[in-house]
Structure 1
Amino acid sequence: MRKIVASVALLTILAGTPPAFAQNHPATFREIASDPAATAAFKAMAKGHTLPDWINGKTVESPGNEVTFGGDKVYVMSACKQHDCGSERIAVMYDPGKKIMYGLLLSADQKTVTEKLTWLNIGPGNEAIDGRTILYAALTGSLENHPGAFDYK
């Protein structure tokens, strides 16, 4: 069941946009849908996690950013739950050369002023520190405001 949910979530987020990814300039989640390697990377990233239902519905997407991570050009994209962007957000970082994706799912409780962070596919490599920094910055707007500050060679 989790595999089906992850597959549906990816298709929902990534479906129906021109294949700009083929030009190595993805602007949003949807623009990597035409790339089977990105789809497989999303599925691998989500493995073992239950993604929230809102990912299967309409999302609000932010333009993607290109940064350098571990010497490679990677793409960082984010989306949020429609009508609740302050509380439910997701960011992913995709390395098309290595065909790997990392993610961060954020759920915020406005009453208690707390955030629950669910790290997706974060291991002991560069993603453990620099990857987390980039993903969290994508959700806070810091990456969009200061993209050059997040190039990690």
Structure 2
Amino acid sequence: MNTRFCALIALVLSLPATSFAQSEKTEPSLADLTEDKKMQAAFDDMAGEVELPDWVKSKAVTSPGQRVSFDGKEYLAMTGCEQHQCGAHKIAVLYDEQSGTMYGLLTAGDEESGSETLTWLNIGGGPESIDGKTLLFAAVTGSIENHPEDFQYAQ
């Protein structure tokens, strides 16, 4: 085959991938805590006096965040799980980037008994106590990731 023709085909085949990669925007994840000081401060405030497991900040398997809304505000829903224990140990947070507020849910499952312990983080008596809890539970179960358009609660 002609060298010019092969080069042209290679160029054409690389264009869509290059354009797609440049236009795709990835939302922040819990892995970005160390790079985003405002998010780190919100995370620390959310955790408060609760001693979180070591895996949460240093070894969590994370996915890009998903945009959700409730009470007229947009939140970034982010999840993580303990490596090799994703079925049993998970965390989900809702982060309001405007106010710097974060709410969370930490889950710990017990394989022997089949029970699961839910630890709610920074949940008060506001809108986060109902819609926020719903969204956090949907995040740890994978529902938000699978159906992001279904989690926009307007008020």
Identity %: 47
Asked whether 1:143 is paired with 2:144, we answer yes
Deviation at 1:28, TM superposition (A): 1.3
Q: Hey, what does 2:94 align to over in structure 1?
A: 93
Q: State the TM-score, normalized to the length of structure 2.
A: 0.78
In 2, Cα distance between the equivalents of 1:139 and 1:90? 7
Indicate the SS of the match to 1:63: coil
Go from structure 1 to structure 2 and tell me whether the alpha carbon gap of 1:92 and 1:54 turns closer, same or farther (over 3 Å shift): same
- Superposed CA deviations along residues 108-142 of structure 1, whole A, max 9, x for unmatched, are 11221111000000000010010001011111011
In 1, Cα distance between the equivalents of 2:53 and 2:33? 21
Considering only CA atoms, is the larger Rg found in Structure 1 or Structure 2?
Answer: 2
Deviation at 1:30, TM superposition (A): 2.2
Checking the alignment, whether the CA contact within 8 Å between 1:26 and 1:32 is kept in structure 2 is no
In 1, Cα distance between the equivalents of 2:84 and 2:33? 24
Q: Hey, what does 2:52 align to over in structure 1?
A: 51
Q: Hey, what does 1:13 align to over in structure 2?
A: none
Q: State the TM-score, normalized to the length of structure 1.
A: 0.79
Answer with 27-36 or 85-94: which moved more.
27-36
Letter in 1 for 2:31: R
Deviation at 1:32, TM superposition (A): 4.9
In 2, Cα distance between the equivalents of 1:54 and 1:33? 14
Alignment gaps of 5+ in structure 2:
1-24
Go from structure 1 to structure 2 and tell me whether the alpha carbon gap of 1:25 and 1:75 turns closer, same or farther (over 3 Å shift): farther
Letter in 2 for 1:35: D
Q: Hey, what does 2:18 align to over in structure 1?
A: none
In 1, Cα distance between the equivalents of 2:49 and 2:59? 23
- Superposed CA deviations along residues 62-81 of structure 1, whole A, max 9, x for unmatched, are 22100112111110000000
Answer with 129-138 or 142-151: which moved more.
142-151
